[in-house]
Amino acid sequence: MKMKAYARAGVDIDLGNKVKATLPQLLASTHRREVLGKVGGFGGLFALDTRKYKQPVLVSSVDGVGTKLKIAFAMDRHDTIGEDLVNHCVNDIAVLGAEALFFLDYLGTGKLEPHVFKEIIKGFVRGCAKNNCALIGGETAQMPGFYQPGEYDVSGTVVGAVEKSRMLDGKTIRRGDAVIGIEASGLHTNGYSLGRKIFFEQMKLKPTSRVAELGNTIGDELLKVHVSYGPIVQQLLKKFNKGLGKAEVIKGLAHITGGGFVDNIPRVLPKTCDVVVRKGSWEMLPIFRIIQEKGGVPEEELYQVFNMGIGMTVIVAAAKADAVLQAIKAAKHKAWIVGEVVKGSGEARVV
């Protein structure tokens, strides 16, 4: 059969359709009863159950995974990137108290490689299923000449909902409140441009190099999945913020992404309060110890680029800090009291 002109130009629509035909089976595990219609329509349909809320507020977030993709390309391992993306987006809306409802993805590539496509989608599916979030649509763009051979980019959008009166806006944060840090799995999806420079240029490692302190190859360590805090946040809110009134126990959450503690915690602080985070108050992951010792980067900058082993901070009433800490540990997350709220002007500092 004669090859079509568009395929000769690098865009194989028939291959795209063949690959996408497998999507309904792949996406089945992410189905929620509120999803209407089939995958492949011009728009994804989701009937919000308004009976669950008095005043529902929709919360949305969009993100990518940055240069972590370079590690996936180097390792030819594509099954974790989708899960990273879902979890990052879910965490960004979890800090407002929102439950994730549905997710949409975008994948842009030069040439569609069926096995790579399937691995990426499997990651999206795994992330959505674990967060009880429906994968209701997406876009796959074939753009020859736009990406390097074997490379692609992904981004995603999550939409969630929260009861208006239960939204976490940080307004109840007061001097004396405790700051709990929940452990990260590694770099998550931030700081990879600097991390790659340290590991591959300065330390001369290859992605497949085994590093004794990690008990792993550096490539596999850097591909560890970004932790989802969505389920634990919902558990904490149900247990400790029971009423429909103000947040008196769980008062504010910050997802520690690009900008570290210094830039992310202030996003939830009132203008009359600062947060002091105390170094050494948590068990630092080996990968961050290596970055600290071998990176040649001022410590102050490290805490503004990387999460340094804490992926989410929870600001809680001091009297309930131990109870909240125990609840997080019971849910199989490591956590520590890493700081406190002091009088100030809406800033965070690491001391």
Give me the domains of the chain, ranges plus CATH numbers: 5-166 (3.30.1330.10), 178-350 (3.90.650.10)
Q: What is the pLDDT of residues 189-203, one digit of tens each?
A: 999 999 999 999 999
Quote the distance between the C-alpha of residue 333 and its chain's center: 16
pLDDT at 335: 98
Residue 286 neighbours by CB distance under 10 Å: 17
pLDDT at 191: 94
Q: What average pLDDT does range 208-228 have in this prediction?
A: 96
Distance CA 102, CA 58 (A): 11
Mean pLDDT of the chain: 92
Question: Residue 328 pLDDT > 80, yes or no?
Answer: yes
Q: Give residues with Cβ within 8 angstroms of 95, minimum separation 6.
A: 168, 233, 252, 253, 254, 255, 268, 312
| Confidence at 1, pLDDT banded by 50, 70, 90 | low
pLDDT at 2: 63
Q: What is the 3-state secondary structure (H, E, C) of the chain?
A: CCCCHHHHCCCCHHHHHHHHCCHHHHHHHHCCCCEECCCCCCCCEECCCHHHCCCEEEEEEEEECCCHHHHHHHHCCCCCHHHHHHHHHHHHHHCCCCEEEEEEEEEEECCCCHHHHHHHHHHHHHHHHHCCCEEEEEEEEECCCCCCCCCEEEEEEEEEEEEHHHCCCCCCCCCCCEEEEEECCCCCCCCHHHHHHHHHHHCCCCCCCEECCCCEEHHHHHCCCCCCCHHHHHHHHHHHCCCCCCCCCEEEEEECCCCHHHHHHHHHCCCCEEEEECCCCCCCCHHHHHHHHHCCCCHHHHHHHCCCCEEEEEEECHHHHHHHHHHHHHCCCCEEEEEEEEECCCCEEEC
pLDDT at 243: 65
pLDDT at 112: 84
Q: What average pLDDT does range 256-281 have in this prediction?
A: 96
With 0.75 as the threshold, say if the pTM is over it: yes
Question: Residue 25 pLDDT > 90, yes or no?
Answer: no
Q: What percent of the chain has pLDDT over 70?
A: 96
Q: What is the pLDDT of residues 136-164, one digit of tens each?
A: 988 889 899 899 999 999 999 999 999 99
Question: Residue 245 pLDDT > 60, yes or no?
Answer: no
Q: What average pLDDT does range 22-40 have in this prediction?
A: 79
Distance CA 82, CA 136 (A): 15
Q: What percent of the chain has pLDDT over 90?
A: 80
Regarding predicted confidence, which is higher, 185 or 142? Answer: 185
* Distances 218 to 10, 46, 84, 226, 332 between C-alpha atoms, Å: 34, 41, 18, 16, 25
Tokens 């405790």 — which residue? 178
Q: What is the pLDDT of residues 113-134, one digit of tens each?
A: 889 989 999 999 999 999 999 9
pLDDT at 246: 67
Task: Count Cα atoms within 13 angstroms, Cβ side, for 290.
Answer: 21
